[in-house]
Amino acid sequence: MAAPKATRSKFGAVDWLKMRAVAEQALVRARVRAVFADEGHRLMQGDGSHSVDEQLEWLKSLSNRTHVLHVLAGPYALFGFRNTSGQLARRGRDIHFARYHVEDKEERTAFMAAVKYLLERVPLDVDLNAHLARWRWWAEGCVGCVGILKDWLVDAVAATLVQKGTSLTEDILTKTMPHPARRLSLEMEARAGEHQVAIHESESARQFQALVKKPAKPGNGKTELIPGRMSGVPSFGQADKPEEPTSATLPMPQVAPKPTKLRVGQRAPERDPVGETTASSMRKSIGCPFTEVIEVTLAQVEEARVSHFECPTCLALRDISPKGGRIKFPWHPKRTITTPNQGLRWVKREIVWGLSE
């Protein structure tokens, strides 16, 4: 208890790549068939330093290298992280586990079968016929979700055992039923998610039919993008339109761009002042935007005996001394010459820093 806590060192990019290789080998050697990640929408959000596309690309790469199926499970918040690109959409499958709607006869039958299955495993005396006759009351209490129904029954059984009861009564079930405010929140969230799924399916079908009726014209393989339309969808000029009646022509779908989450340290859109510029604004305008922390540890610098770092944006060379246990590339003016740098130095290749060849 009195011993000092060990400090946790920050891993560099090379260390993370080694850990990834170890994880891949573990999945292959253990012959893992599938990896299930619950609360998958939290995994996609990450720590804010990487975009959703990068997270999904890493999962795709991990699945390709290990041949292990990766499953993301979660609430409707996970719905927004699907089909972000054509490659991911081709490799993925969407399975919607909707709640039970007792207004539908088939779903009502399946719901009552689930209620009966759980009641038969309650370690108390249960009047099955009386409880099953109140199917609508059960559906309203759990909002049609079997998971909420299970938690409800667990609370009711626990309360009965505390009172040294021997049977599951309606009074205990009423007392342990989820609070109306909680049920209201669950009902609103479920309806919003179901509406989102239904609207997305209908809108996707409508947009796809609109594109099918306007086939792309064979050309040089290049497409022209028009702001305000779907990213990656080719546009069509007046000469490219097929000869169709005006009444049968459908307009191109207008899709608003998805809001992107800003990275840490990235400037938010704002109106710049007009007029005389200050020294700080002049410095910001002529300076290089790369002033980030470099993923190179102090031990690596001391082992290589190289403290020169090359800016990956403008190729400026700086001799940087570590401060506070980390190395940060300082503000510097943009390099205007094109002469390549000489000598041993730290350079960034894709996402990893390493010594120049």
User: Regarding predicted confidence, which is higher, 30 or 254?
Assistant: 30
Q: Residue 226: what pLDDT?
A: 42
Highest mean pLDDT among 60-64, 157-161, 299-303, 309-313: 157-161
Tell me the pLDDT tens digit for each residue of 283-326.
Answer: 555 678 888 888 888 888 888 888 888 888 888 888 888 887 78
What are the phi and psi torsion angles at 106 (to 5°)? -65, -40
Q: Residue 40: what pLDDT?
A: 83
Strand-pairing partners, residue 328, are: 293
Q: Residue 259: what pLDDT?
A: 62
Q: In the chain, which ranges are continuous DSSP H helix?
A: 13-29, 40-45, 52-66, 86-91, 105-119, 128-132, 135-142, 146-162, 170-176, 180-212, 279-286, 298-304
The answer to whether 168 and 125 are in contact (CB under 8 A) is: yes
pLDDT band at 100; cut points 50, 70, 90: very high
- The answer, yes or no, to whether residue 126 has pLDDT greater than 80, is yes
Highest mean pLDDT among 54-58, 79-83, 191-195: 191-195
Q: Residue 280: what pLDDT?
A: 54
Averaged pLDDT, 12-20: 78
Map tokens 């009195």 to a residue. 2
Q: Residue 223: what pLDDT?
A: 47
The answer to whether 290 and 312 are in contact (CB under 8 A) is: yes
The answer to whether 316 and 334 are in contact (CB under 8 A) is: yes
Domain locations along the chain: 22-91, 105-178, 290-355
Ramachandran area for residue 258 (φ above 0: left; ψ -120 to 50: alpha; else beta): beta
Q: Residue 256: what pLDDT?
A: 56
Tell me the pLDDT tens digit for each residue of 232-287.
Answer: 444 434 434 444 444 444 455 555 555 666 667 677 777 666 655 555 555 555 67
Q: For residue 90, which of 65, 64, 66 has the smallest C-alpha distance?
A: 64
Averaged pLDDT, 129-138: 92
- The answer, yes or no, to whether residue 228 has pLDDT greater than 70, is no
Tell me the pLDDT tens digit for each residue of 181-215.
Answer: 999 998 998 888 888 888 888 888 888 888 888 77
Tell me the pLDDT tens digit for each residue of 215-227.
Answer: 766 655 554 444 4
Question: Domain 105-178 is in which class?
Answer: mainly alpha
The answer to whether 255 and 245 are in contact (CB under 8 A) is: no
Q: For residue 269, which of 282, 257, 277 has the smallest C-alpha distance?
A: 257
User: Regarding predicted confidence, which is higher, 97 or 282?
Assistant: 97
Averaged pLDDT, 158-176: 92
